[in-house]
Amino acid sequence: MEEYYEVLQFSNEKLVISHFSSIHSMYNAKILKLMKKKYKESNDQVKFLLVMSNESEKTIQLCRKEQIEKYPYFVFYKNGEKVHEEAGFRPEKLEANILYYGNNHFSHIVQLQCVGHLEKLIRDCNPCVKIYPSVLKLSSQMVGKVVFGKIFCDESDCFMQILRDFDVVEGRYVGSTPSRLFVKILKFLERKSKSDWHVEVRKS
């Protein structure tokens, strides 16, 4: 049990995800496959811990201390602090939360520092899309085709004013689902491709 908390203590800013399970859980193989995939994608910046609840007296005590009664169960830590918990294995939800809480380790998204950066992104890059977890995944799949930008709005009064101007509310997704977002991007790219083709025809 001491080893478990030592890992959390010395993980610094890395995201640590603890997977609590039982030895005979039917989901173990699928979860392990997902964890290996996300570990590789994060370039060793996300740690995954596996705790078999019924493996020994120590693991039983650890589960009691953490008040974990359902399996599989996932606990997310950053800087040794618990930031998220979820019970059950829903692959899409789990992957979205890994991307969300470990966004700095997976992201190909440009960090915008001022209103000028936002204006330049809108002027120079098409399409521009409002974000989060599914977009982190899209950003890695569409490098070179689509530019995504993010803003920490509470870092400046200018960005807070943008929130008010666009009537943005706090939330994981605003005005879109992952599938609808992806469809809109593809439609834009299709229109842009046709437009570029017409330009080439006129030039010839």
Residue 125 confidence class, pLDDT cut points 50, 70, 90: low
Buried b (16+ CB within 10 A) or exposed e, 133-147: bbbbbbbeebeeebb
Buried b (16+ CB within 10 A) or exposed e, 108-130: bbeebeeeeebeebeeeeeeebb
- Kindly tell me if the per-residue pLDDT of 195 is higher than 50: yes
Does residue 128 carry a catalytic annotation?
Answer: yes
Encoded amino acid at 204, one letter: S
Q: What is the pLDDT of residue 202?
A: 47
Torsion (CA) 99, 127, 159, 161 in degrees, nearest 10: -130
Q: Where does 48-177 have alpha helices with state H?
A: 57-65, 91-101, 103-106, 115-124, 133-141, 157-165
Buried b (16+ CB within 10 A) or exposed e, 31-45: beebbeebbebbeee
The answer to whether residues 115 and 94 belong to one domain is no
Give pTM, 2 decimals: 0.55
Catalytic residue among 63, 114, 128, 158: 128
In this structure, of 48-62, 97-111, 125-139, the range with the lowest mean pLDDT score is 125-139
The answer to whether residues 128 and 189 belong to one domain is yes
Q: Is residue 148 within 8 Å of residue 112, measured between CB atoms?
A: no
The tokens of 4 are what? 């478990």
- Kindly tell me if the per-residue pLDDT of 140 is higher than 50: yes
The answer to whether residues 119 and 199 belong to one domain is yes
* Domain end residue (candidates: 42, 74, 104): 104
Residue 103 confidence class, pLDDT cut points 50, 70, 90: low
The boundaries of the domain holding residue 192 are 107-203
Percent of residues, the chain, with pLDDT higher than 90: 23
Catalytic residue among 63, 114, 125, 158: 125
The tally of domains found in the chain comes to: 2
* Domain end residue (candidates: 74, 104, 134): 104
